[in-house]
Each structure stands twice: as C-alpha cells, then as structure tokens.
Amino acid sequence: MDNLWQIVLDDLEPSLPHATFITWFKPTEQLSSSPDKLIIKVSNVFAKTQFEKKFDPIIKTSLKKNNLNIKHIDYVVKSTTPKKPSERSVSEEITTITKSAIAKKPTIDTGLNPRYTFDNFVVGSNNDLAVAACQAAVKNPGTKYNPIFLYGGVGLGKTHLMQAVGNEILKLNPSTKVLYTTIEQFYNEFIDMVRFKRGEKSFSEKYRSVDVLIVDDMQFITGKEKSQESFFHTFNDLHQKNRQIIISSDRHPREISTLEDRLKSRFEMGMIIDIQMPDFETRCAIIKAKASLSGTELPDDTTEWLANHYKSNIRELEGSLNHLLAWCEMRGYQPDASTAEGLLGEATRAPIPKHLTPKQIIEKTARYFQITVKEICSPDRSKNIVEPRQIAMYLLRNELGLSYPAISKELSRKDHTTAMHSVEKMTKEIKFNYLLREQISEIRERLYA
C-alpha cells in the first residue's frame, strides 16, 4: 500500500505553522487507500472535526497538486484498546512489562524542533527584551522570570524563540526534561485521558515531572472548565517546584477572553513581554542570515527589496526568500531585485480596489464610531473624536498608501507631523491592543464589502 498520506504530510509541513503541524498532523496515520478514497486515523473526536471542517480543503488541494485523484477522505478515530489482563498469555504479559519498563526510561519526546536555536535567531529592537528574558531562563531555569509569557503577532518568532530555550537548555544539560507542547495538544491529551478513563497517572506524570514546560499558542485555550482546571493545577505544581514555564500567545493574557482570571493572574506573576514587528534593519539582517544558511550571499538591493515588501510576518518573508532562491538556482541565475519583483511583485502588491477613495475611508470610519465626517475633520480634541480620526489616518496610510501631507489634507489638519505621529501610534498600539485590532478589521471589512 502506497503511503499517499506521507506525500501530503511532506507537502504541507513546510507551509503550516509548526505548532499546527505537530498538534494535528503528526499524530495521524494512513489506514488504507484505494484509487478514490483515503482512510486516515486521527487521534480523537476533536481532531476528527478539525480535519473534516478545517483541514480537508488544504489536504485535497495538496493531493491534487501531487496528481493524486482522490475524491474522498475518511477521518476515523481508532483507539487501540488493550486486552484485559485475563486474556493475555504469560509471555505477552512479560513483554508488556519489559516494554513498559523500557518506555519509562526517559527519552521522553521533547516536541522540540532542533532547527530552532539561538544561533539562527536574529536579535533586533523588536525582540531584544524577549531574547534577554529567554537567555536568563537558559542560565537559571525556573528562578528568575517564571513564567515567561511571550506575545505578539503571527510569524514573529515566538515559537522559534521558545524552542531555542528548550534546545539550549538540553544542550547545556542533556538530562533536563524539556517538554514543548501546544495548549491544544495538552487539551487533546487531557480529553483522551478522560474519555478512555485511563492514563491519568501517566498524563500528570508526563506534565508534572518536567523541568521546563513550553506551551505554545495559549490564545486557543477554551472555556472548557475541566481542561482549564487541569492546566491550572499543572501550572501551579510546576511553578511551586520552581520549574521553568514559558508560554506564548498572539495577544496579552488580558486579551484572551476564554482565559480564566486565576490563570491570568498567575501569568502576571512572571514576565510578560511582547515581540513586535521587526524594523527594516532587523528584517534585512534576518534575510541575510537565512540566505547565508542556504549558502547564498544576497546582493543588497535584493535584501532591501524583500525587506521593503514583507513587513509584518517573518514566516512569509522566509517563504518568499526560499521561493526566490529556488527559482534562481534552478535556472542558474544570480538573485537580484528585478527578479524578485518579477517573481514576487504581483503577490505583494495589495490589490487596491478602484472604487476605494479617501473620502469613503473617512466616511465609513466616522460612521463606524457613530460620529459625523464634520466632527472627524474638525479641530475637536475630545477622546471619542481623536481616536476615530487616528484610525482613519492609519487606514488612509495602509489601505491607500497616502503620503502624510495628503492624509493631513484629507482630514483638514494643518501640520503633517500629526498624521505621522498618529499612524505610528496606531501601528504600535494595534499590536497589543486587541480591541483596536478588531475595530480596524471590522472597518476594513466594511470598506471592502
């Protein structure tokens, strides 16, 4: 039987967030394949719905891309229920015992990807604080900053940095027990344990015996009481024993609405640090570092072209760099800015709908906040007018690429530095102010509706 599923896994791994891949895809297995159907084993009911509802389309696309004409995929949950002891033979019993004795010997799967190290993590003003805290945790795990809570937008290096801590600690002291997991994976294991009414001991043993616990994507914590309680107790237990805990999320704990207050306050006991978007210099440094890892020295104009076109997500930046390098290598070309423009330019140009005008942005922003256009363009400095005005400026800049003097003119401001400061302020604030992010994305939706 061909392992068609492996082809899909290999195809999807590089394009999916690492945490998604290890949580959902890694525990799967192909059970059978026929010319038009695949049967895939997934770990639990929760995973089954994720696959059916969320991942099925990308999996089908991947099959198609690999010329596999499979129309249907069944995701099945299968547990390997152990036989009752009375049904086992003595020799079976012995093998089980020896096997479990061997299994108890450490070598727990750390969940770490050895690719994520400090060596290949570029430090810039956007992440220097986070790096410093993480290095302190490497030196003195569990004593200085505990927990460390990293938050920031997608693709900004949170997973990389947390895993670098785990890898470095293991390098310095190979007997340390490090465990990387996502909150979803933690939940899945907890649900399995409850569902099959077994494994309770090994579940808590696994989590409570670690020296360093790294938990990714905390924003996916759900309101489910029991599992949240289980995480709370695991956290407390480790924290009391001075075991290092590192957590990441795409937003501040305060902004995670599903997170219980008692966990929020536990997280506040430690160090909460944000990772921001890298500035131009840092982006250039990252590009150079990544290119040299693949043995290429990029000319400055190409580096700068990339740094100018990918500002908010390093994963995308990296993907495009790899695309460019592979394309050039296959043709024996030297990468340069015009090749980059030709290959990637189209995709990076945000489509500006022809109908969208500055006036519409101002109108829709004003309407969203239930104020008038006259007010938004007036000298009024009251809070409920200033905020919408700043958001309008931010949108004029980001949606239409207007210059600061043009923005000032549209909003009847005299001085263009106000527009500049407002846009800068919004750009910063949007990263940690979840409400603001929501508001802006709702206005955007209305603009493009």
Binding site for ligand ADP (CB under 6 A): 18, 120-122, 127, 154-160, 286, 314-315, 318
23 binds Mg ion (CB under 5 A): no
Nearest distance from C-beta of residue 77 to ligand ADP, angstroms:
28
**Both tokens of residue 409?**
């003119």
Q: Which residue is nearest to ligand ADP (CB)?
A: 157
Q: Report the partner that residue 286 touches, choosing among Mg ion, ligand ADP, none (CB closer than 5 to 8 A by kind).
A: ligand ADP
| Distance between CA atoms of residues 231 and 306, nearest Å | 41
Q: DSSP letters of 275-291? A: -----HHHHHHHHHHHH
| Distance between CA atoms of residues 222 and 214, nearest Å | 18
Q: Report the partner that residue 155 touches, choosing among ligand ADP, Mg ion, none (CB closer than 5 to 8 A by kind).
A: ligand ADP
What lies within 8 Å, CB to CB, of 402 at 6+ separation is 358, 396, 410
> In terms of CB distance, is 121 or 368 closer to ligand ADP?
121
Nearest distance from C-beta of residue 76 to Mg ion, angstroms:
29
Sign for the pseudo-dihedral over CA of 263, 269, 271, 275:
positive
Nearest distance from C-beta of residue 285 to ligand ADP, angstroms:
8
Q: Which amino acid is at 347?
A: A
Strand order in the sheet with 29-34: 29-34, 37-42, 72-77
Virtual torsion, Cα 181, 186, 188, 189, nearest 10 deg: 100
- Binding flags for Mg ion, 138-177, as an x/- string (CB under 5 A): --------------------xx------------------
Nearest distance from C-beta of residue 320 to ligand ADP, angstroms:
12
Contact at 8 Å (CB) between 399 and 361? yes
Q: Report the partner that residue 56 touches, choosing among ligand ADP, Mg ion, none (CB closer than 5 to 8 A by kind).
A: none
Cα 150 to Cα 128, 141, 181, 249, 410: the distances in Å are 12, 16, 15, 6, 38
Nearest distance from C-beta of residue 38 to ligand ADP, angstroms:
28
Q: Report the partner that residue 266 touches, choosing among ligand ADP, Mg ion, none (CB closer than 5 to 8 A by kind).
A: none
Virtual torsion, Cα 150, 154, 160, 165, nearest 10 deg: 10
Q: Report the partner that residue 215 touches, choosing among ligand ADP, Mg ion, none (CB closer than 5 to 8 A by kind).
A: none
234 binds Mg ion (CB under 5 A): no
Q: Which residue is nearest to Mg ion (CB)?
A: 159
First to last CA, the chain: 48
Q: Report the partner that residue 398 touches, choosing among Mg ion, ligand ADP, none (CB closer than 5 to 8 A by kind).
A: none
Nearest C-alpha neighbor of 350 from the set 280, 287, 444, 434: 444
**Both tokens of residue 356?**
């969208």
| Distance between CA atoms of residues 215 and 243, nearest Å | 13
Nearest distance from C-beta of residue 78 to ligand ADP, angstroms:
31
> In terms of CB distance, is 122 or 396 closer to ligand ADP?
122
> In terms of CB distance, is 23 or 44 closer to ligand ADP?
23
> In terms of CB distance, is 73 or 156 closer to ligand ADP?
156
> In terms of CB distance, is 48 or 315 closer to ligand ADP?
315
> In terms of CB distance, is 127 or 219 closer to ligand ADP?
127
Binding site for Mg ion (CB under 5 A): 158-159
